[in-house]
Structure 1
């Protein structure tokens, strides 16, 4: 590399972080990963190994870095504590600006339980003194097909509620746009959504049109907990699964934002376009 990177990207082995890494081709960047063997081998990249809860390793990984793209950690009962550890280590390392992938409608009273974790993380970042940009992503449109079971049925207590799900390609493109020149975005919170709110009946119809027959079967909340009991997941995780649907039913995920077209200069991707890509 011709210069040491002043940009660090976490989650680069994942679906979102990996997209961002590749969109920033030509920008020197440091990839902060848990496993160096899984880091993408790309020109202009160097690798540092750290987990979010290892403060010493994070400080070492971020030394000399000005801007960090912080992909939220994997779902875990201690995720907020892990996030706080990472943020504190970033501040101690001298990082100036943190771009964090949060969740649409993050608040302490959000119906979707994990959105409360994102709110707690946002508050810790605000208190850290770091400049920040929050990308509040709606549900990932790309994941809708994965919500269907082996019989092609999406089950959950979403009723006829609507969700303005966003394509991961759009989130990555916005992140790359911000990371190329973060200063104008300091202090901003961007709600990232798709172009139209859809019911899960409509989602199923669009998936079916893409080639896989899928239908949506509404459940009561009690039925939703019962149908998920077979997985043996811990209560906090089942709460998260079920509240994904109840958040849709409540209307909390339905509003469409103009952030994607405003930042990218093009319309947000539709679900149909996302599934055909």
Structure 2
């Protein structure tokens, strides 16, 4: 039972993996929702309260959030102006009278984080802390679901990750944890949760699990920094994006993601999924 008396909840990112799953969990629990989306045509058909607004549109976002008490804010898509978008949306939420924001951050968010995108998450957290709203931060590790994609068509995970370990988490578990928080938001104000899977694996171990589960040859190639930048150059991505890609691996090598917590189980009452579980469910 929620400690808040029927709080009104808005969910962003409902056309994506995590936001969509969160919306589904809350619907199943009978929680009234408003979905804030960029394109209403892509919103789940079962939701009647859908409003269009982008993170960077302060007036439109404020209008979309009027009457909302609790906001589930999925971090924006990676972009050069991601932090500016976050700050604008947070200011819009405050303008609209939102009381509590639940934000999807990243494990180890800090101004000097090795993983460059975790620095943006830290700055977003700081903006929320300075706002008049209460907050809850869900700092997830890397997603288990993306490692098969890292292997690509060649079946090779390439990066300067060395023998470092990562306690990656399933997107489904992040969504379940978020839904648990949103179902009782008052109990989680001012809390930060590090969301991880049940074990920390090296990239070589991850490759072996993928190979065993899929029957497709998958290996890990430990690159030097020079090799990592060179292998990503053909994509033509901007410098900030390439730096983010490479720093995903250097953060693993530096031990920054070698973290395993019980937060998922404490929040949801169920242990988190392993990589083998994720691959089996897929």
Instruction: Note whether the superposition's TM-score is higher than 0.5.
Output: yes
Displacement of 1:5: 7.6
User: Corresponding residue for 2:80?
Assistant: 77
Residues 1-277 of structure 1 mapped to structure 2, 5 A cutoff: 6-25=8-27, 26-43=30-47, 45-211=48-214, 212-277=216-281
Aligned mates of 2:102, 2:17 — CA distance in 1: 17
For 1:261 and 1:198, how far apart are their aligned partners in 2?
Answer: 19
CA-CA distance at 1:251 after TM superposition: 0.2
**Which blocks of at least 5 consecutive residues in structure 2 are unaligned?**
1-5
Query: Gapped runs of 5+ residues in structure 1?
Result: none
What do the CA deviations read for 1:101-148 (whole angstroms, capped 9, x no partner)? 000000001000000000000000000021100000000001110001
TM-score, normalised relative to structure 2? 0.95
Paired positions, count: 273
CA distance in 1, matches of 2:197, 2:7: 32
Residue 258 (structure 1) shift? 1.3
Give RMSD over aligned pairs: 1.0
Q: 1:92 to 1:136 in 2, by over 3 A?
A: same
